Amino acid sequence: MHHYLAQTNSIKERSVLTMNAISLVIRGHKTMYFSEKTVHANENEIHMLTTGNCIATIDISSQGPFESVLIFFSREELADFCVTYASVINTLKKNLRIQSSPYVSFRKDDFIINYINSLLLSLKKHGTLSESMKQLKLRELLLYLLEHHTRNFLNFKTTESITQVEMTIRSVMESNALNNLTLHELSFLCNLSLSTFKRHFQKIYGISPNAWLLRRKMDKAVHMLTVEKTKPSDIWFQLGFETHTGFTKAFKKHFGFSPKNYFSSK
């Protein structure tokens, strides 16, 4: 999340969006050139942009300072949002004709104006937002746009590219990450063969299912050690390890020290 203010006479800059972005224009206007489209952004709209190259021009001399708040988010964050609200999306998109676009705009209304003001107040008071608050504010805006500007939101290119298979795999994994199911059982819940499940999983997450599950178990172990103050000897069976020794070895390999030493240091 970035509060942007341009005050020089004229700006023309090249940029590469390595993440998707929502541009909340507060005042002024600018022109953005993409490979597929030219966009004229102004203070009456907000804009969703996909990753890629962009050239932006701002003529400060004719309009005064340009100000905006940029919210960056990954494809994975958008995919997780789509999984969480899959039933809402499936209901809302019935009978809608979706036209994929790398750029979509939304007219400002009272909610969006108040949303921007709430961000500015938080940034002014705290300078930055915690990761948890950033996630919460991003989901708040995405859900509002989904429910009240459904067609435009679903037209967003990255939203359209999230397949039903990906949504199913993400949903099954998030729901069963700590349930000690085998890969055969997880692939069965996804209605996929084991080999197809593994292939899709690697493409979605960039790692193997076993590596992803171990990472989630280690994250949970740290939470139990530090937040819940659980003793290491009481954790291993809750996370599905066959022995205390097996859990200790996996923990030490993942973090570089034993759970007992980690627990003692906290």
- For 25-34, how does the pLDDT look when each residue is reduced to its tens digit (9 = 90+)? 888 888 877 7
Please tell me the predicted confidence (pLDDT) of residue 7: 66
Write down the domain spans for the chain. 2-155, 164-264
- Please state the pTM of the whole predicted model: 0.68
**Looking at residues 102-109, what average pLDDT do you find?**
91
Instruction: Please provide the CATH number assigned to the domain covering 2-155.
Output: 2.60.120.810
Closest CA to 35 of 17, 62, 12: 17
- Residue in the block written with tokens 């930055």: 128
Residue at 264: amino acid letter: S
Whether the predicted pLDDT of 266 surpasses 60: no
User: What topology is assigned to 164-264 in CATH?
Assistant: Arc Repressor Mutant, subunit A (1.10.10)
Contact between 66 and 10 under an 8 Å Cβ cutoff? The reply is no
Closest CA to 226 of 174, 266, 185: 266
The pairing of strands 45-49 and 38-42 is: unpaired
